[in-house]
Amino acid sequence: MSSWPSDAFRFALVGNPNCGKTALFNMLTGKRQKVANYPGVTVESKRGRLITPSGRKMVAIDLPGTYSLRGRSPDEAVTRNAILGKLADESPMDLIICIADATNLRLSLRLVLELKLTGMPVILALNMVDIATKRGIEIDMNRLSERLGIPVIPTIAVDKGGTAELLAAIDNAAAGGHLSSTPTWHEQSADEVRATHLLVNQMIEDCVTIPAGNDVWTRRIDNVLLHPVWGLLVLLLVLFLIFQAVFSWSAPAMNVIKDGFDLAGDYVKSNFPEGMLSSLIADGIIAGVGSVIVFLPQILVLFFFIILLEDFGYMARAAFLMDRIIGGVGLHGRSFFPLLSSFACAIPGIMATRVIDNRRQRLATIMIAPLMTCSARIPVYTLIIAAFVPNTHVFGFVNLQGIVMFGLYAAGIISAFLVAWAFRLFVWSGKSEPFIMELPSYKRPSLRSVGINVLQRAFVFLQRAGTTILSMMILIWFLATVPGAPEGATEPAIHYSFAGMIGHALLPLLAPIGFNWQIAVALIPGMAAREVAVGALATVYALGNDEASLGSTIATHWSLGTALALLAWYVFAPQCASTLSVVRRETNSWQWPLAMFIYLTALAYLAAWIVFHTTLLFT
């Protein structure tokens, strides 16, 4: 793959948000970039390689969606710079492929006319023709191509439809089939936009027939999902069901994984000669990494629902329903998607804020994204909840552990709103940017693509378990094992190890919030990845000669106050170095990640202190 010439033919995929650019990019390059039925999924440029049927090596560039080349928000600016060659390291494109949603041509055709002004050759890929055909929309491609003066190729990006024709057209362009003209692009004035609209209207009248009653399904579904009362109730119900499912659906699979690791640990302990190696494998790797992998089913159930909702087209509706509600604290309807993504992981969530063009609202969204409970916190929450909250049902069907989990998520959300509100009050006031967002048509999620996406998440999680988490586990095991216990020691050896020393050194700081030295030891490697804390606890207690499972060990060793305080700590604590470094990259400053670290740590300490001391009063 490294034999791509540096001057390879380069073409960019440009188009309105959600018209299928990334799906087409994946179809051409075989990559697996994220595709979802929401405008504004792609926020950075991605390149991929391909070889055309005639053997040309090419580079395709997927770009964020936009309605014009003005480049207002950070994601639109990426597209603008890529096309207009504003970035120093970007050589200009050889060809633009403009992708249009065939069910909604008007805005795409206006963009085509604007793109033609850049002087670069343009090919129009008329995507989603499958849906257009189903709805009875007829498009006279030949006439459209004639009127636009560029090739028009019908495609079905999700089914690889039209690949051969599109590649042939690209090949033809590369062979000099159509030449570039002198660039005359300048930022379009309002009246120029109006004038292009008139041209486009004429073209649509001449080339497209749209039956009346187009897209009745979206209308019917929206009558419920966008209803001011039912819509909000459905949104709450959906979120609640997700958390219930995360708990109850995944339990059987988790038990299987847990039993598997327990068996493996026992096998190593009983069959390997006692010593360092057996301890490293059983206490460090199997107990540590295993205690994290157990949570894979829960994380996959969560991702399954998020991906399903994204593909269905619900996310834009959720943004609509939430706009005014979160607008009250200075956020924006557009903040909703980044915040919801942060439930999976704050890093893509923070990246997704690029669609917000108002800098204040973007920063406010970034600052509160870590308060959304990311999936890496699930292991910590589940471990403690399972050990301290009885697994009973209230009202016959609502799982009590699920309720506590829901409460932790709610605590994160409510604090996020308070922080956003304080941010607007004390840090940065100013007016809100307009909320203007396309509401895409609903699409039936393809189970195959949802399945592939979930598997991909599983792969990423396991990879992380095999690299970051595994190496942290080995490090922790090492620190918790050396130096060994001195002669005549009374306590288990771990008390005298480096980890024990670090834990005891931190104890004065953490004792006021109810943490013991084992927790202190676990929190530090937890910075690398939150779930490592669980593995670290497992290793620390396993080396401390606690034979029982981690859950029952902490149930006997911790007071209720300690457990609840640790939960409260995890709602806030900035226990994730990668989040901080993404904030640094996205804000291009040290000030914001630093501010984030300080405010989150302060809140975490405060919350844990309050929870610990309140619980002491009642127990």
Ligand X SMILES: Nc1nc2c(ncn2[C@@H]2O[C@H](COP(=O)(O)OP(=O)(O)OP(=O)(O)O)[C@@H](O)[C@H]2O)c(=O)[nH]1
By the criterion CB under 8 A, which residues form the site for other proteins?
67-68, 70, 72, 103-104, 106-107, 110, 188-190, 193-194, 197, 201, 210, 214-215, 218-219, 222-223, 226-229, 231-232, 316, 319-321, 323-325, 328, 333, 431, 434-439, 441
For residue 72, the SS3 value is coil
Kindly identify the residues of this chain, within the stretch 53-72, that bind ligand X according to CB under 6 A. Answer: 64-65
Segment near Mg ion (CB under 5 A); pick from 22-30, 123-131, 146-154, 422-430: 22-30
Partner interacting with residue 130 (select from other proteins, Mg ion, ligand X, none; CB below 5-8 Å by kind): ligand X
Is 477 in contact with 540 (CB distance < 8 Å)? no
Q: What is the C-alpha R_g of the chain?
A: 28
- Spell out, one character per residue from 94 to 113, where the chain touches ligand X: x when CB under 6 A holds, - when not: --------------------
For residue 10, the SS3 value is strand
Residue closer to ligand X, measured from CB, 36 or 542: 36
Query: Nearest approach, Cβ of 43 to Mg ion (angstroms)?
Result: 9
128 binds ligand X (CB under 6 A): yes
Partner interacting with residue 158 (select from Mg ion, ligand X, other proteins, none; CB below 5-8 Å by kind): ligand X
**Pick from 14, 17, 306, 350: which binds ligand X (CB under 6 A)?**
17
Query: Nearest approach, Cβ of 427 to other proteins (angstroms)?
Result: 22
- Spell out, one character per residue from 420 to 459, where the chain touches ligand X: x when CB under 6 A holds, - when not: -----------------------x----------------
Question: What is the secondary structure of 279-331 as a DSSP string?
Answer: HIIIIIIIHHHHHHHTTHHHHHHHHHHHHHHHHHTHHHHHHHHHHHHHHTTT-
C-alpha–C-alpha distance, residues 61 and 170, integer Å:
14
- Sign of the CA dihedral 15, 460, 527, 410? positive
Neighbours of 31 (CB within 10 A): 16
Q: What's the half-sphere exposure (Cβ side, CA atoms, 13 Å) at 80?
A: 15
Residue closer to other proteins, measured from CB, 297 or 333: 333
Query: Nearest approach, Cβ of 242 to other proteins (angstroms)?
Result: 22
For residue 133, the SS3 value is helix
Angle between helix 532-543 and 378-388 (nearest 10): 50
Is 379 in contact with 550 (CB distance < 8 Å)? no
Residue closer to ligand X, measured from CB, 158 or 169: 158
188 binds Mg ion (CB under 5 A): no
Query: Nearest approach, Cβ of 104 to other proteins (angstroms)?
Result: 5
The continuous run of DSSP H or E covering 367 comes out as: helix 359-368
Pairing assessment for the beta strands 138-139 and 208-209 based on DSSP bridges:
antiparallel
**Pick from 9, 12, 18, 335: which binds ligand X (CB under 6 A)?**
18
Cα(first)–Cα(last) distance of the chain, in Å?
A: 64
**Pick from 11, 16, 19, 22: which binds Mg ion (CB under 5 A)?**
22
For residue 491, the SS3 value is coil
DSSP classification of residue 158:
G
Residue closer to other proteins, measured from CB, 205 or 274: 205
DSSP classification of residue 156:
B
Segment near Mg ion (CB under 5 A); pick from 14-22, 135-143, 254-262, 553-561: 14-22
- Spell out, one character per residue from 137 to 166, where the chain touches ligand X: x when CB under 6 A holds, - when not: -------------------xxx--------
Count the residues of the shown chain that bind ligand X, applying the rule CB under 6 A: 26
Partner interacting with residue 324 (select from other proteins, Mg ion, ligand X, none; CB below 5-8 Å by kind): other proteins
The token pair that represents 327 in the structure block: 């607008």
Count the residues of the shown chain that bind Mg ion, applying the rule CB under 5 A: 4
The token pair that represents 609 in the structure block: 């202190």
C-alpha–C-alpha distance, residues 583 and 566, integer Å:
25
Neighbours of 584 (CB within 10 A): 16
C-alpha–C-alpha distance, residues 112 and 96, integer Å:
10
The token pair that represents 573 in the structure block: 């604590």
Residue closer to Mg ion, measured from CB, 41 or 565: 41
143 phi, psi to nearest 5 deg: -65, -40
22 binds ligand X (CB under 6 A): yes
Segment near Mg ion (CB under 5 A); pick from 19-27, 46-54, 267-275, 364-372: 19-27
42 binds Mg ion (CB under 5 A): yes
Is 284 in contact with 540 (CB distance < 8 Å)? no
Which residues contact ligand X by CB under 6 A? 15, 17-23, 35-37, 39-42, 64-65, 127-128, 130-131, 156-158, 311, 443
Which residues contact Mg ion by CB under 5 A? 21-22, 41-42
